[in-house]
Amino acid sequence: MITLNFANLMEEVIGKNGLTEREIEDFKPEAQKAFQQLIQRKWKELDFLDLPEQDTLKIKEIARQTVDDSEYFLLLGIGGSALGPRAILEALSPLHNLRRTPRVFIYDNVDPRTIDAILEIIDLKKTTVNVITKSGSTAETVASFMILWEQMQKLYGEEAFKRFIATTDPEKGNLREIVRRYGMSSLEIPPGVGGRYSVLSPVGLLLAEVIGVDSKELLLGARDMRQRCMEEDLWKNPALLLASALYKFGQAGRTIDVIIPYADGLKSFSEWFCQLWSESLGKLGLGLTPYPSVGTTDQHSQLQLWMEGPEDKVVLFIRVEDYGVDRKIPIVFEDMDGLNYLSGHSLSELIKAEEESSELALAKAGRPNARITVPSVDAYHLGQLFMFFEIVTAFTGFMLGINPFNQPGVEEGKHFTYGMMGKKGFEERRKEVEASRERKICWTL
Amino acid sequence: MITLNFANLMEEVIGKNGLTEREIEDFKPEAQKAFQQLIQRKWKELDFLDLPEQDTLKIKEIARQTVDDSEYFLLLGIGGSALGPRAILEALSPLHNLRRTPRVFIYDNVDPRTIDAILEIIDLKKTTVNVITKSGSTAETVASFMILWEQMQKLYGEEAFKRFIATTDPEKGNLREIVRRYGMSSLEIPPGVGGRYSVLSPVGLLLAEVIGVDSKELLLGARDMRQRCMEEDLWKNPALLLASALYKFGQAGRTIDVIIPYADGLKSFSEWFCQLWSESLGKLGLGLTPYPSVGTTDQHSQLQLWMEGPEDKVVLFIRVEDYGVDRKIPIVFEDMDGLNYLSGHSLSELIKAEEESSELALAKAGRPNARITVPSVDAYHLGQLFMFFEIVTAFTGFMLGINPFNQPGVEEGKHFTYGMMGKKGFEERRKEVEASRERKICWTL
């Protein structure tokens, strides 16, 4: 199992910036309230907790067909519909497109340069397109879907729909309507599962199966972690303890939560976490800012700021115990003291030593940090990580007293875009944009 | 030229959170002091300002040889030695490895899974290795260099050195010594150019030439931008104005600076900026935390937090005027109101509308933001962006009263690693690490 070590969050270890056992004890009633909201399913969006029990038969079947008849798998989605799948892809199949088929492309933007490059590379006759949008009308996703639809129509005419798999709401929305109309292959995102909590739904699982990962393993890990996080006593519940600590540090002005896995393949996992944390918690003037990092790389980018910058951060290390593969650093340049001390060690020794060193350096400087240890980067433990951070996020949201499942703040921007794109009913918004342009002219350098 | 629009930083536009013209006027003496430090070259590390005038003949010659005899180009480096090259690669040759040769790999970690994957893909007999470390002894870089050295020795024996290009200090360090010993091909990082300010030195330029980018264009853009930033009056100097504004917002509690280019290819540029900003400014308890984003993608990840989270951010939009390529969104699904409003528009219209919408939504919510407009994502304008942000960073550092060119906070961690790796003279540090492990046991869940 994944473990949480929180020594470097404690006053006993890092001094006055740390938490005391007493403080955590005193926080128990509040932690309990948050815990009860989860246990009693006070929000319908807590259905993500049930995903480990889903039936994966249809996902496996569709994946099998895809692998059989496709050399390219193009995923169209944005936000939670892309970040989860990408986290799975990069963690479980590093440098996938240079080593494995089907080649996988995740187009989670409307950047014309990117789709141009993708369409140069792929052969549409050998491509399956997975379009993912829960609402069925996410602007970026449907724009790219419409482009691909036309391209496939040119190739296949009325059979075009056969090259698509829709992952969307079981009942509602335009994409579901299109599925009905054409008999398009489809998978369902449960109504009680929000986009950023959807990685363990068909959103992430189809891609997992397509790249040869057994989705059951992801779900098994998630199930076991959920079990661990159902413990009432916060001293025995890693998610409740971490949520309590991050909440309390936030109240004390440490409002930036850095996540730094020591594995290139978990960089996208960091980004997945950052969406989860930002969108879930950032509302009503509250919230904590996540920061996506990767070790050792960002020791040469961010560590200086964490060590000596403002006292506004908590750093979450993710340590990998077994990388599965390894390389010895050979005995070469024996007379050079700047190099020879490395000889005989392995890369995994070095990366783990650096992880531990950064923790300790921060702790000595009185900067709170914690260590999450992952036995290995595989489907089972990745499933654990997903479920762990989803539960931590829900707990923290409940502690903040906000709804961790909505995102009201993004509507305004969407409406301006609708206005500019000429969507009916948003004419006033268009005028507002035009008026704003006038104001801007004199402030340009 | 790149332009800066700062309307949405001003009280006149966004209300009380904004800056007034008066405040900026009053700040002029401080801005002038920062400006003078740059102009008078008060720090030797300001030599990055001279990079546009460097001779690129040798770089071009080495690049030509590399392209002639290599199908793979493996760059070993970390921090500034990797972030700049990667920013160039991803901006100027999207999805490079699936479309162009030589294939380029940037190994900026000691993750064994990554090097394992790279070595599975590349053919060492057709690979040139560019090892980049200014000091010549960066642990991660030399560890991977030693591994590659042994591999090449197995293939080429005494001729192994011919497969390497060293980019390092002209005089000092282990790597320069190795160059001398073997007659290895090499390029020089000027002594007065720090790692994170080195992208326009051979560090970034060799890779640029290898992927077919004319390094002269990068330098030309940088030169023209430098020229613009030599203007004494902050109302006419975009770098001095932006530095002043970010400094003043930082003083007022907006200590997180988000950078969000609306181009997938500039995501790595964001990460390059984040190192520059973090390591340069994060010291003496001061500093500003950068945040790397990409639009439109992160509208579905971070925007909620920027709109409704704590009042601790300034958002810097990077808008692209001309993407070079484009796609029309076709007329399909005509009866569906959730989709049909997009028909007839192009992807570049949509991405630009979303960028403008996000700016305006933030401004209406009283959240300060600014727009940097890039005419197109090409070498000339990328050169401008690099120089612009380097100068902004130096100015901001001078305003904070810190040395923006050192990174004293990362030494402690390195020493612990040396201890664990058995480097002579660091035995005490090893003991300290071991002692810290004892403490940790009781805090594990």
B414 a catalytic residue? yes
Cα diameter, chain B: 75
Bond from prior residue into A102 cis (ω within 30 degrees of 0): yes
B443 pLDDT more than 90: no
A236 touches chain B (CB under 8 A): yes
Name the β-bridge partners of A367: none
User: Taking CB atoms and an 8 Å limit, are B264 and A348 in contact across chains?
Assistant: no
Q: Which residues of B408-423 are buried (b: 16+ CB within 10 A; e: fewer)?
A: ebbebbbbbbbbbbeb
Q: How confident is the model at residue B174 (pLDDT cuts 50, 70, 90)?
A: very high
**What's the pLDDT score for residue B276?**
98
User: Taking CB atoms and an 8 Å limit, are A275 and B358 in contact across chains?
Assistant: no
- Chain B residues touching residue A414 (CB < 8 angstroms): 357
Other Cβ atoms closer than 10 A to A177: 16
Residue B142 near residue A339, CB atoms below 8 Å: yes
B279 a catalytic residue? yes
Kindly give the interhelix angle for A21-39 and A379-400, rounded to the nearest 10 degrees: 100
State chain B's mean pLDDT as an integer. 97
Interface test mutation site (partner B, options A111, A234, A376, A432, max chain B beta carbons within 10 A): A111
Instruction: Give A 42-81 residues with CB within 8 A of chain B.
Output: 78-80
Which one from B45, B188, B209, B279 is the annotated catalytic residue? B279
φ and ψ at residue B165, rounded to 5 degrees: -125, 125
A378 touches chain B (CB under 8 A): no
**What's the pLDDT score for residue A313?**
98
**What's the pLDDT score for residue B440?**
73
Written as one string, the DSSP assignment of A60-124 is HHHHHHHHHH-SEEEEE--THHHHHHHHHHHHHSTTGGGT-SSEEEEE-S--HHHHHHHHHHS-G
**What's the pLDDT score for residue A440?**
74
A57 to chain B, closest Cα gap in Å: 30
Q: Which two tokens stand for residue B62?
A: 């080495």
Residues of chain B above pLDDT 70, percent: 100
The rounded Cα A22 to chain-centroid distance in angstroms is 33
**What's the pLDDT score for residue A439?**
78
φ and ψ at residue B369, rounded to 5 degrees: -155, 160
User: Taking CB atoms and an 8 Å limit, are A444 and B177 in contact across chains?
Assistant: no
User: Taking CB atoms and an 8 Å limit, are B5 and A443 in contact across chains?
Assistant: yes
Torsion over CA of A146, B294, A417 and A174, rounded to 10 degrees? Answer: 40
B399 touches chain A (CB under 8 A): no
Other Cβ atoms closer than 10 A to B388: 22
Q: How confident is the model at residue B327 (pLDDT cuts 50, 70, 90)?
A: very high
User: Taking CB atoms and an 8 Å limit, are B333 and A174 in contact across chains?
Assistant: yes
Indicate left, alpha or beta for B95 from its phi (over 0: left) and psi (-120 to 50: alpha): left
B412 touches chain A (CB under 8 A): yes
**What's the pLDDT score for residue A444?**
84
* DSSP state for residue A263 in the 8-state scheme: S
Indicate left, alpha or beta for A105 from its phi (over 0: left) and psi (-120 to 50: alpha): beta
Distance CA A306, CA A309 (A): 6
Complex-level ipTM beyond the 0.90 threshold: yes
Query: Out of B297, B312, B442, whose CB is closest to A78?
Result: B297
Q: Which two tokens stand for residue A381?
A: 């433990």
**Among the listed residues B384, B437, B390, the one whose alpha carbon sits nearest the alpha carbon of residue B281:** B390
The rounded Cα A56 to chain-centroid distance in angstroms is 21
Query: Out of A174, A342, A377, whose CB is closest to B338?
Result: A174
Instruction: Give every residue of chain A whose pLDDT is below 50, as ranges.
Output: none
- Chain B residues touching residue A300 (CB < 8 angstroms): 78-80, 138, 140, 195, 275, 410
B101 touches chain A (CB under 8 A): no
**What's the pLDDT score for residue A442?**
74
Name the β-bridge partners of B129: B74, B164
- Chain B residues touching residue A351 (CB < 8 angstroms): 109-112
* DSSP state for residue A294 in the 8-state scheme: -
A61 to chain B, closest Cα gap in Å: 28
B6 touches chain A (CB under 8 A): yes
Which one from A158, A171, A300, A412 is the annotated catalytic residue? A300
- Chain B residues touching residue A85 (CB < 8 angstroms): none
A435 touches chain B (CB under 8 A): no
Put the strands of the sheet holding B185-188 in their side by side order: B103-107, B72-76, B127-132, B164-168, B185-188
- Chain B residues touching residue A284 (CB < 8 angstroms): 308
pLDDT in tens, B152-168: 999 999 999 999 999 99
φ and ψ at residue A170, rounded to 5 degrees: -65, -25
- Chain B residues touching residue A347 (CB < 8 angstroms): 110-112, 115, 143-144, 147
B2 pLDDT more than 80: yes
B442 pLDDT more than 80: no
Other Cβ atoms closer than 10 A to A182: 15
Name the β-bridge partners of A76: A107, A131
**What's the pLDDT score for residue B444?**
83
**Among the listed residues A337, A358, A356, the one whose alpha carbon sits nearest the alpha carbon of residue A348:** A356
**What's the pLDDT score for residue A443?**
85
Distance CA A353, CA A214 (A): 32
pLDDT in tens, B215-226: 999 999 999 999
Q: Which residues of B66-76 are buried (b: 16+ CB within 10 A; e: fewer)?
A: bbeebebbbbb
All residues at 6 or more sequence positions from B53 whose CB lies less than 8 Å from its CB, including other chains: B219, B223
pLDDT in tens, B236-289: 999 999 999 999 999 999 999 999 999 999 999 999 999 999 999 999 999 999
φ and ψ at residue A5, rounded to 5 degrees: -110, 120
Residue A359 near residue A8, CB atoms below 8 Å: yes
Residue A87 near residue A199, CB atoms below 8 Å: yes
User: Taking CB atoms and an 8 Å limit, are B347 and A112 in contact across chains?
Assistant: yes
A414 a catalytic residue? yes
User: Taking CB atoms and an 8 Å limit, are A117 and B94 in contact across chains?
Assistant: yes
**What's the pLDDT score for residue B359?**
97
- Chain B residues touching residue A271 (CB < 8 angstroms): 301
B153 touches chain A (CB under 8 A): yes
Q: What is the mean pLDDT of residues B108-127?
A: 98
For A423, half-sphere exposure in the C-beta direction (CA atoms, 13 angstrom radius) is 19
* Complete domains list, chain B, with CATH: 3-40+219-400 (3.40.50.10490), 55-189 (3.40.50.10490)
User: Taking CB atoms and an 8 Å limit, are A341 and B423 in contact across chains?
Assistant: yes
Residues of chain B above pLDDT 90, percent: 98
All residues at 6 or more sequence positions from B137 whose CB lies less than 8 Å from its CB, including other chains: A338, A339, B173, B174, B175
User: Taking CB atoms and an 8 Å limit, are B409 and A111 in contact across chains?
Assistant: no
- What count of CB pairs under 8 Å joins A to B? 486
B294 pLDDT more than 90: yes
pLDDT in tens, B91-112: 999 999 999 999 999 999 999 9
Instruction: Find the closest chain A residue to B1 by CA distance.
Output: A445
A299 touches chain B (CB under 8 A): yes
User: Taking CB atoms and an 8 Å limit, are B109 and A294 in contact across chains?
Assistant: yes
Q: What is the mean pLDDT of residues B436-442?
A: 80
Which one from A90, A209, A279, A355 is the annotated catalytic residue? A279
Residue A231 near residue A237, CB atoms below 8 Å: yes
* DSSP state for residue B111 in the 8-state scheme: -
Other Cβ atoms closer than 10 A to A36: 12
B441 pLDDT more than 80: no
